[in-house]
Amino acid sequence: MLKDITIGQFFPGDSAVHRLDPRVKIVLTIVFIIALFLAGGPVSYAAVIAFLAVVIGISGISPRLVVRGLRPVLFIIAFTAVLNLFYTPSATGEYLWQWGFLHISWEGVKVAFFMVLRLMLLIIATSMLTYTTSPIQLTDGLERLLSPLKKLHAPVHELSMMMSIALRFIPTLIEETEKIISAQKARGADFDSGNLIQRAKAMIPILVPLFISAFRRADELATAMECRLYRGDVGRTRMKQLHIERVDICACVIFAVVIGAVIALGRYGL
């Protein structure tokens, strides 16, 4: 299961999606999420799926890898589907199945299906942002987008740096957790048998060394940044400057057309 967690990973490439300005990708991802909640029917969702499939194809990211990233959240998706399936009331008062306070209606089936589809597309779209954007580019993009908040004395650079470091260390901590689990199993630890409380207690030998390792890595990172005279945003220069290129403008135009069509279709319930 840990190997299926791909959030925060960056896969280098030279595709058009990789070359997009990070600011453009961040803004387009946010707009995509908003448009996803405005989609109202099978036609608009089909347009969203087709557009996202084209983006995945252009990026060169394996579709199998994208789908594998959904496995860690399957429980949340299934739980959301069950809640919407059994607790959505019927508009006509007729139910396909009913037992006590539990009931299934056509409206519940429809809402559950589209809610699951919406969550899956949401996770895939946000994952594509980290798959095709390096942590340094994400930091620079977020900092440039949030730069107006500097007038309010908000720590924009520090916030962007913390977010990028957190994303960068997710794969590292996952790898460290796998090593600890393998070491504990070699010593005879059992993490699969027993009830829920026993399994929770069995996780203690994993959590303690994991926290120690995380704090050690954080201390080493802080020491390395101090040795390199890191002083935050004051006097900081960048090797690569962000510029809006022709490919960014073309991407924005295409995205605006697709999202406009999705919103228009959603207003008519299509």
Enter the tokens of residue 146: 């949030």
Q: What is the pLDDT of residue 129?
A: 85
Residue 3 has pLDDT above 60, yes or no: no
> How many Å apart are CA 6 and CA 139, to the nearest integer?
19
Enter the tokens of residue 267: 């207003």
What average pLDDT does the segment 37-50 reach? 82
What average pLDDT does the segment 187-200 reach? 71
Local confidence band at 269 (pLDDT 50, 70, 90 cut-offs): low
> How many Å apart are CA 33 and CA 12, to the nearest integer?
24
SS3 call for 163: helix
CB proximity list for 227: less than 8 A, separation 6 or greater: none
pLDDT tens, residue by residue, 107-132: 777 888 888 888 888 888 888 888 88
> How many Å apart are CA 177 and CA 181, to the nearest integer?
6
Which of 13-27, 67-81, 164-178: highest mean pLDDT? 13-27
Q: How many residues are given for the chain?
A: 270
pLDDT, averaged across the chain: 78
Beta bridge partners, 99, equal 102
Name the strand (E) or helix (H) holding 109.
Answer: helix 106-131
pLDDT tens, residue by residue, 215-254: 888 788 878 877 877 766 666 666 677 778 888 888 888 8
CB proximity list for 172: less than 8 A, separation 6 or greater: 217
Gyration radius from the chain CA atoms: 23
Q: What is the pLDDT of residue 7?
A: 63
Local confidence band at 187 (pLDDT 50, 70, 90 cut-offs): confident
What are the b/e assignments for 166-185, b being 16+ CB within 10 Å?
ebbbeeebbebbeebbeebe
Q: What is the pLDDT of residue 17?
A: 86
Q: What is the pLDDT of residue 171?
A: 73
Are 115 and 80 in contact, with CB atoms under 8 Å apart?
Answer: yes
Q: What is the pLDDT of residue 210?
A: 80
Residue 71 has pLDDT above 60, yes or no: yes
SS3 call for 99: strand
Q: What is the pLDDT of residue 238?
A: 66
pTM listed for this prediction:
0.72
Q: What is the pLDDT of residue 44?
A: 84
Enter the tokens of residue 193: 């048998």
DSSP state of 89: P
Q: What is the pLDDT of residue 141?
A: 81
Q: What is the pLDDT of residue 90?
A: 72
Q: What is the pLDDT of residue 235?
A: 62
> How many Å apart are CA 23 and CA 252, to the nearest integer?
11
Enter the tokens of residue 20: 């997009």
